[in-house]
Structure formats: C-alpha cells, structure tokens
Amino acid sequence: MQQILDDIAAQMALETDRGKVADYIPQLAHVDPNQFGIAVATPDGKMYTAGNASTLFSIQSISKIFTLTIALGKLGDGLWTHVGREPSGDPFNSIVMLEHETGRPRNPFINAGAIAVVDAIMMGHEPKETLGEILQFVHFITDDESIRFDHKVAASEMAHKDRNASLAYFMKSFGRLKHDVDKVLGVYFHQCSIEMNCQQLASAGLYLVSNGVDKHSGVRVINEHRARRINSLMMMCGHYDGSGEFAYRVGLPGKSGVGGGILTIAPGKGSIAVWSLGLDHIGNSKLGLKALELFVQETGWSVFAE
C-alpha cells in the first residue's frame, strides 16, 4: 500500500495541468496549488500517507456527508420530505430543477440540498448550537479535537453568497426553509469551511467503511442500512454532474469539495482521502480524480468487482 501511494504521489508531482482553483471563494485562491496529498485509513487501524497528507485544507462540500449523517440520525426517513435522493446531472449550484420540483432539492449533496439539510438539523436551535453539534460530530468520528472551522473562508463565502442565497430564498419562497436564510447560510458556510488534512479526512470516513461503526471507539455512529445508503448517495450524487464519470473511472462512493479534496469509501477495505487544489471544468479535483483512478487500478478496490 505504501509503495502504491508513493508512486501515485511521485506521478502527481510531475503533472503540469493541475486544473483551475475555485476563485469564486477568494480565500481559497491563497493556497499553493502545487500540493498533492493522499491518505488511506483501514479498519484495522492502519494509516498510509504520501505527499502533503498533513496539510490542512478546506473540506467544503465533503462536509455534506457529515451533515447528512447527522440529519438522518435526527430525522430518520423524515429527512426525505425536505430533500430528494436522485442524481441531478446539474452543476453544484444550479437553480434550474428547483422550480420544476417546487423547491425540494434533488439530493443532499448539491448546494440547495445541503442548505435544506442544514435547515432541517437546525430545528429551532441557534446557529451556534448547530455548528457546535457539527464540529462535535467531526471530532467524534476522527477522535481529533484539533479540527476547526476556518472563519476567514466562511466569511469569504458569506461575502460572495449571491448564488447560494438565491437558492435559499427560492426554497424559502416555496415554504421549504423554516429558518432565517442568513442564519442557515451562516451554518452552511461554516460547515464548508472546516479544515482537515488527508489523514484526518481518511480517518473520518471509516464509519462508512465499516457498516456505520466508528472504529476508533467501537461505537456505532449510524445504523448499517443508513451507512449503506449514504454510500449509495455518494456514488450517485457525490460529484455533481461528474458523478457518472467518477463511477466509471473510480467505481467507489466518493464526495468532492471545491477546496480540491475527495473522500472515497471502499466498503470493508478502507477510506481514501486525496487533495489537490485545482479543479476540472465540473468542479472536482483534477489530480484527485486521476490519483484515485490510479489507486483503484493498482489495488483493485471497487464496489463492482471482488
């Protein structure tokens, strides 16, 4: 495993076309785009890393896995009245389908869906309490209390909130959001601003590798059926309108973020986190996808084969 990761990191270092940094969040554009990290956590407690695997980055939409998990824990199947579970085939910030579907977003991983999930988990709580709950959950699944929000990134998103605010007001006009739009967006931008490195992220994914059980503590995070369903949603919707391409090239459930990270789950085998800042035209990490494609070729890890 270590050899595979070292080879991938060496190959990624040679890549010249590293994609485009998401400059619509100006704070993200301050990061050096020449970095690449990969980490693999396995259920027996091992961690393998290569490249910049201990550099912190903005996990952005990868956080939507964690809020979905919290929401399913709180609302159970009631969550599906707030948000659907079909792939959208649209960009991450698209408003198009919302009108056809009366303000109910297609799935929890497009921005509108994640905003609806935040509204659902707030359930009358103050934004600070909800943020505390999200961070506590991340600390629990990583066994690492050093993980924090990056308030500068959250503020940068709030300052450039127009598209996400439009999605939120549009949903609110259909009576879909219960809370004040700015409060919901404040929570959403902070959850996206969580900073983690590849090692922490790989470790966070282990409960989805092991049927919902947190391997650090042996405690069940979510029941087996829900863990399986979150993995299905990641497979179908985890890369926006690039989800089909990701399933074709990687063949594992995954979730990307515009900070250049991707968390990928190989059920029963391991959790793989990759990070490289530059994105492809859809908004998924360009080298991250390439590295994962090499990784599955070398390991044979796939949900479609033994």
171, 181, 194, 197, 235 from 165: Cα distances, Å:
10, 7, 20, 29, 27
Considering only CA atoms, give the Rg of the chain: 18
Give me 121's structure tokens.
């988990």
Q: Does the annotation mark 64 as catalytic?
A: yes
Choose the catalytic residue: 83, 221, 258, 296.
Answer: 258
Per CB under 6 A, 171 contacts ligand GLU: no
- 46 labelled catalytic: no
When binding is defined by CB under 6 A, the residue of 111, 199, 211, 271 that contacts ligand GLU is 111
**Minimum CB separation from ligand GLU for residue 286, in Å?**
14
With CB under 6 A as the contact rule, the residue among 35, 164, 200, 264 that binds ligand GLU is: 164
Give the chain's end-to-end CA distance (angstroms, integer): 18
1 burial level (CB within 10 Å; 0-12, 13-18, 19+): middle
| Number of other CB atoms surrounding residue 23 within 10 Å | 9
Active site residue 188: yes
The residue nearest ligand GLU at its CB is 61
- Pick the catalytic residue from 40, 63, 64, 203: 64
Query: Which x/- pattern over 230-269 shows residues binding ligand GLU (rule: CB under 6 A)?
Result: ---------------------------xx-----------
Least distance (Å) between residue 169 CB and ligand GLU: 15
Structure-token match 């590293």, residue found: 18
Query: CA 20 → CA 70, 91, 214, 286, distances in Å?
Result: 32, 16, 35, 8
Q: Among this protein's residues, is 152 annotated catalytic?
A: no
User: Which of residues 61, 197, 199, 203 is near ligand GLU by CB under 6 A?
Assistant: 61
Residues 173-232 that bind ligand GLU (CB under 6 A): 192
Among 160, 134, 135, CA closest to 22:
160
Contact residues toward ligand GLU (CB under 6 A) are 60-61, 92-93, 111, 157, 164, 192, 257-258, 283
Residues labelled as active-site residues: 61, 64, 188, 240, 258
